[in-house]
Structure 1
Amino acid sequence: MTVPGWTGVSSLALGVGGLLLSLLFLRTPGPKVQVTTTPSSWARLGSGVLLHCRFTVEGSVALDSLRVQWYLGEVKVAWYDRGRSQAQSGASLPSEKELQSGHASMSLATVTPWDKGMYKCVVWHGEHHHQGETRLHLLVGPTISIPRPQAVAGKETSLLCHVWGFFPMDVDVVWLRDGQVQKGFTCSSPQRKLDGTFSLTLTYTFTADLHDSGSVFSCRVYHEVLGQSLQQDVFLDILAAPTVSIPRQPAVVGMKTSLLCHIRGFLPKDVDVVWLRDGQVLKDSTHSSPQMNPDGTFDLTLTYTFTPARSDASSVFSCHVHHAALEQPLQEDVPLVILDAPTISIQRQQGIADAETSLLCHVKGFFPKDVDVAWLRDGQVLQGSTQSSPKRNQDGTFSLTLTYTFTPTHSDAGSIFSCHVHHAALGHPLQANISLNILGHSESPRASKS
């Protein structure tokens, strides 16, 4: 026989037990995930870096339930997905053994400027996940290069300091001279290079002086990556450009002459100098040894000695100078002034007392045509002589005749008549003398030169 109450009790007990069992399973949490990262990471450009990420779960790590994802911004860099691992070039995740130990750090083999930024480490275990973030900061110290400077005294010059390859772009740069900060230098805006680093150029422009050759110029740079300032020193090479002067002096046909070219005020003393004739080098020129001046510059003289001919009058002689301080060769041309010295001949004539007579002085072969001629009597200039216009000869020289007409008397006997010539080709005046004898006396006319 069945007792109805018992049946009800058994059914109630079973229902209550099932409900309690269901509530028990609902309240039991699954394995939770906790991720820990370092807020900031620092790396130098070109080095490797480990971005730390550790995680814990309740219980042991089941690889077939584990997923790890690393992001830079919104870009997935590396990931592990239940036994399979992938990563972009240069990135890597730990081994599965390390993952089972809670290590999910990502390694970057070679840091580039593009690797900086906020990274996110996301760990899934089953249906549970957690994430942490770390920001990668890049540090790249600058490099200095200064082109070997040369400055020409008296001319504006610029010292350049190239500062390159630094990150971030904030940097302090100055030019110093003998340890003192110089004013007036300029700095270009930092330019970003393809690798993400920055570069700039610091420029100091000034007019160089010979005294600057003993100074030390320094480019000093401070950047947050550097423990202390970076500095590069440079000694300035001061150059002095030569000047050329050629004394203007005429040359006389048939007489040895020297062309002088004075090269002055150059530094350093190495210099190439030549004489040219119509653009062709004259090999027989000589130059003195460079002589040092009190200011440290040098002088020398280039000499070309030759015997000119009338044909040299059409030639152009040039002093040609090469020197490190010159952007291009220095050259000074001189057209050679060729002189021809005159000759004198006095036409012999008889003097007859109380009869008009003429003394003729032929001045020949002179150049240029400017000439001063005069008749003298016993050293005194005779007024009233006449001179023909200079006549050009076939060889380009000139000739003329000086005539003195008078009526001699017996008192003129024994007087010395002289034809006196001044010309640029003569070192001193040329003179021809004649002693005039008057007919009726014992002597006839005779001439002499001095």
Structure 2
Amino acid sequence: MSGPKRAGYTLPSPGCAELSPASPTLLSLCPGVGAQVDPGFQLRQPQDKVSVAAGETLTLNCTISGVSPPGPLKWLKGWGSRNVTVYEQTGSFPRVTRAVDGSNTDFTIHIRDVQPEDSGTYYCVKFSKSLSGDGVLQRGSGTEVSVQAKPSAPVVSGPDRRAGPGQSLPFTCTSGGFFPKDISVKWLKDKALITSQPPQINPGQMKFSFDMSSTVTVTLQEGDIRSQLICRVQHPTLEDPLDGTYPLSRALRVSPRVQVVMDPSSPVKVNQTVNFTCYVKRFYPGDVTVTWLENGTELKVQNVSRAVETPQGLFELRSLLEVQATEEKNGSVFTCRVVHDAQDPITSMATLQIVPLSKEEPEDLPQQGYLPLVYSVVGVVCTMLALLVAAILYLIRAKQSNGKSSPSARLHEPEKSSEATTQESDPNNLTYVDLNFERERERKTIRRMVELSQQSEYASIQTSPAPANDDNLTYADLDMVHLSKAPRRPAPRPEEPSSEYASVQIPRK
């Protein structure tokens, strides 16, 4: 931007502004009028473009050769009325230092801790003094500086409230302060790629920086407790991508399954101890409150186990309630109420049914020994009856076979008396035989009547209470009768109302 040279001076180009006498601090960017320039003077600014990462140090090269006329050398950012002085030999510039301090030929500078706002075009300019002030003697071709700012670490945010399996939730990934604008975002669930829309890129809070926002929608599953959502950001300033993670367990809620089990199951007996167990299964997160109610009234229960984590990351616990099955509690409803993650209560219930205590069953009779005792008594009675019938049959057959008495039994005929004579004259032709069992001292005979029809023989045993003074006497009479061929008559009934009667009828061969 120099005009034609004449007599060793560089003439200002048309339209260039001269130094204003009223503002000596403003520099004219036109060559100084009447400035004498050595034909061998050269200013070199070799860098066309420079890219530097934010926070690093920027180096701008500038050298001169030949005879340098009087006047300052400065570094300017931008060209025209809005240029900014970055460095000059006088003044204070905290971030700028010279590469070779005090050199008259090397004016290379270092700018430390550059930021995106430091991006722009920088010029190395040699000024010369003139009567009207400092003017531009020569300037470099300019160096375009690009400050590349790394994006901040991605941050993934989720919904404010948890949701259950099957529900879809939005998740957002944000990153900012990067330059240049080019940036790419990928979403992954664990290692699986998720389809998402292109990110939104907006100007950042600082000049020459940008911010990014990306959103993805994920449908939650029960197995996502150990899953992670990943937002992966790639930018030219990064050697490796940056990842932002979000554990899906922070957004997932798995409601529990509640079941009440009664042991033993209904119906139960009075005063029996009944255990109600409330199983709370497969829930997440692990904060849960369990309450027992009887007919809607809350009970105080201490026996609540701690939640145990399953291999899938879910939780389980159980609560035990012991109840004494009194008659007043018959039909009572016991409810297990579970409140999980501040949601509506989940309930499960069981009804206690009690078998009433019967009048025939003693209240203090042990439940376990009652039935065996009944079975034993019935067995003994049946055995005694069987033995009695066997003894009767045996004696009958013994009588029929040989008519002899055994050492323990004596077969005899009653003495003939007027009563006997009367009996023998009976048209039925009755014959009476007594089988008496005698014990030690005395014996007492009781009359037995047996009637034998034309085809049958009868044997009867009749007993009556023994006299008070006959405590040591036990006996039984077995009367065998042979009847003539007379019409059949029914067997006689016992004579005494307190007697017992048994008969055996054997067909005649």
| 1:75-108: CA deviation from partner (whole Å, max 9, x where unpaired) | 423353xx63344x5345567622x12x333432
Preserved CA contact (<8 Å) 2:77 2:122: yes
Q: Which ranges of structure 1 fall in alignment gaps of 5 or more residues?
A: 1-25, 346-450
- Check if 1:35 corresponds to 2:43: yes
CA RMSD for the aligned pairs?
A: 4.8
Letter in 2 for 1:90: R
Q: Is contact 2:332-2:351 (8 Å) kept?
A: no
Q: Distance in 1 between matches of 2:99 and 2:290?
A: 77
Report if the CA contact (8 A) 1:240-1:265 is conserved: yes
Q: Does structure 1 residue 59 correspond to structure 2 residue 77?
A: no
Aligned to 2:233: 221
Q: Once the 2 structures are TM-superposed, how far is the Cα of residue 139 of structure 1 from its aligned partner?
A: 0.8
Determine the C-alpha separation between the residues in 2 that align with 1:199 and 1:280.
Answer: 56
Deviations 1:247-281 (A, max 9, x none): 7999999875555433223257x454432558977
* Structure 2 residue 338 is the aligned partner of structure 1 residue 320: yes
Contact 1:158 1:206 in 2 (8 A): yes
Q: Which ranges in structure 2 are unaligned for 5 or more consecutive residues?
A: 1-5, 10-35, 131-135, 360-509
Separation of aligned partners in 1, 2:254 and 2:197 = 24
Alignment partner, residue 254 of structure 2: 240
Do the aligned partners of residues 54 and 316 (structure 1) sit closer, same or farther apart at CA in structure 2, a change above 3 Å counting? farther
- Partner of 1:97 in structure 2? 102
Q: What is residue 117 of structure 2 aligned with on the other side? A: 114
Q: 1:264 maps to what in 2?
A: 281
Equivalent residues of 1:263, 1:301 under 8 A apart? yes
Tell me whether 1:206 sits opposite 2:218 in the alignment: yes
Partner of residue 68, structure 1: 74
Distance 1:66 1:298, change over 3 A: closer
Deviation sequence 1:228-254 (CA, Å, 0-9, x none)? 544567775476332335579999998
Q: Which amino acid aligns with 2:320?
A: T
Query: What does the per-residue CA deviation read over 1:357-413, in whole Å, with 9 as the maximum and x for residues that have no partner?
Result: xxxxxxxxxxxxxxxxxxxxxxxxxxxxxxxxxxxxxxxxxxxxxxxxxxxxxxxxx
Tell me the residue number matched to 1:285: 303
Measured in 1, the distance between the counterparts of 2:77 and 2:148 equals 21
**Which residue does 1:417 correspond to in 2?**
none
Q: In the aligned structure 1, how far is the partner of 2:344 from the partner of 2:180?
A: 49
Q: Which protein is richer in strand relative to its size?
A: 1
The code of the aligned residue for 2:302 comes to: D
Number of aligned residue pairs: give it: 307
| 8 A contact 2:87–2:96 mirrored in 1 | no
Establish whether residue 130 from structure 1 lines up as the match of residue 138 from structure 2: yes
Instruction: For 2:291, give the aligned amino acid.
Output: W
Cα distance between partner residues in 2 of 1:250 and 1:216: 48
Sequence identity of aligned pairs in percent? 18
Tell me: CA distance 1:267–1:96, structure 2 relative to 1, closer, same or farther (3 Å): closer
Q: Tell me the TM-score normalised to structure 2 length.
A: 0.47
1:46 aligns with 2:55: yes
Which residue identity is paired with 2:139?
Q
Residue type of the alignment partner of 1:97: G
Give the structure-1-normalised TM-score.
Answer: 0.52
The structure with higher relative contact order (CA 8 Å, sep 6+) is 1
CA contact (8 A) 1:286 1:304 kept: no
Displacement of 1:177 after TM fit? 4.3
The structure with the largest alpha-carbon Rg is 2
